[in-house]
Amino acid sequence: MNISTPPKITISSLGQKKKQQEKIVALTAYDYPTARIIDQTDIDIILVGDSLGMVILGYHDTLPVTMEEMLHHTKAVARAVKRALVVADMPYLSYHLSLETSIANAARFIKEAQADAVKIEGASPSRLKLIEHLQEAEIPVMGHVGLTPQSIRHLGNYRVQGKKINQASQILEDAIALEKAGVFSIVLESIPRELAQIITKKLSIPTIGIGAGPDCDGQILVLHDMLGLTSDISPKFVKKYLDGRELFLQAIETYLTEVKQNKFPTDEHSYHLNSPDTHRLTKKSSSNLKSKN
């Protein structure tokens, strides 16, 4: 853990890490207090993922997440973070309509929310063209291939992608095209380890894996999954580093019992009047009572 503020992580320092084969470590965050805690560690990238729709806002998938919701949470995270690179996920339909609207939406994350970069899913021709335009607008972009949750209506489920050779070579081609279009890094989500390894070797930009095996240049997890705060069954690639749900429940149950049994608050948690004032006030209150009677 770093006590003094170390230098800010930049896109070029991430590139350096790939060259030096130093692993890049990323986590999601959606609010000020957790982003502050994460930023006290050596985590390189904090992604304000649109997973917030499911993890924080209780939506069924990420599709309902709006620009305003993403901006609101990105602002809170950016206020907290001094060191890590803050990447904001562009929500569904914020970069699918006109080029002009998409660039304007991306710029809001940089200008209003103070993010360092944005993330966009997919590698269709229009997506690649947008990424090129975003470079001209000085907006760094992270790509995302493999399982792209915003395509859930097309995919039909959240299963691993690229298990068949045709699909695997399409994902490889997409990753190459994204690098050519100018992304500074690519998230590889839920793809076979072998495919992630081939992509990672082929690209000169860092790959960040989630469910893509250990050979990527870096890894990312959804914070609430790794802290054991999400209640539903998690995918195979999630490792729980804490049983947060159980710890939350224990603390809340203890609080509940202590209040009911008058064990909390104690004098330790109370403020005091000095004793002459307490005496005066007690007298006044009893004389008020007498005059009313």
* Smallest separation (angstroms) from ligand KIV to the CB of 74: 12
Q: Which stretch binds ligand KIV (CB under 6 A): 45-53, 172-180, 253-261, 267-275?
A: 45-53
Cβ nearer to ligand KIV, comparing 176 with 238: 238
- The answer to whether residue 140 forms part of the interface with ligand KIV (CB under 6 A) is no
What interhelical angle do 125-136 and 165-181 show, nearest 10? Answer: 20
* Smallest separation (angstroms) from ligand KIV to the CB of 119: 7
Window 165 to 194, contacts with ligand KIV (CB under 6 A): 187, 189
Q: Which stretch binds ligand KIV (CB under 6 A): 48-56, 92-100, 130-138, 265-273?
A: 48-56
- The answer to whether residue 220 forms part of the interface with ligand KIV (CB under 6 A) is yes
- The answer to whether residue 162 forms part of the interface with ligand KIV (CB under 6 A) is no
Does residue 103 contact residue 75 with C-beta atoms inside 8 Å?
A: no
- The answer to whether residue 28 forms part of the interface with ligand KIV (CB under 6 A) is yes
Tokens of 52: 């917030």
138 vs 157: CA distance, rounded Å: 35
Closest residue (Cβ) to ligand KIV? 49
Cβ nearer to ligand KIV, comparing 9 with 210: 210
Q: Is the four-CA dihedral 192, 55, 77, 90 of positive or negative sign?
A: positive
Catalytically annotated residue among 136, 189, 253, 268: 189
**Of 130, 222, 226, 227, the one binding ligand KIV by CB under 6 A:** 222
Tokens of 284: 């006044």
Window 193 to 212, contacts with ligand KIV (CB under 6 A): 210
Cβ nearer to ligand KIV, comparing 143 with 182: 143
Helix and strand numbers (H, E) in the chain are: 12, 8
Cβ nearer to ligand KIV, comparing 89 with 116: 89
100 vs 198: CA distance, rounded Å: 35
Q: Is the four-CA dihedral 39, 43, 48, 50 of positive or negative sign?
A: negative
Cβ nearer to ligand KIV, comparing 28 with 34: 28
Task: Count CB atoms within 10 A of the CB of residue 9.
Answer: 21
209 vs 277: CA distance, rounded Å: 65
Does residue 175 contact residue 195 with C-beta atoms inside 8 Å?
A: no
Q: Which stretch binds ligand KIV (CB under 6 A): 47-55, 72-80, 91-99, 177-185?
A: 47-55
**Of 39, 50, 69, 179, the one binding ligand KIV by CB under 6 A:** 50
The helix (run of H) or strand (run of E) holding residue 276 is helix 275-292
Task: Count CB atoms within 10 A of the CB of residue 239.
Answer: 11
Does residue 145 contact residue 188 with C-beta atoms inside 8 Å?
A: yes
Is the N-terminal amide bond of 265 cis, ω within 30° of 0? yes
Window 86 to 115, contacts with ligand KIV (CB under 6 A): 89
> Does the active-site annotation cover 100?
no
Which residues contact ligand KIV (rule: CB under 6 A)?
28, 47, 49-51, 89, 187, 189, 210, 220, 222
The catalytic residues are 189
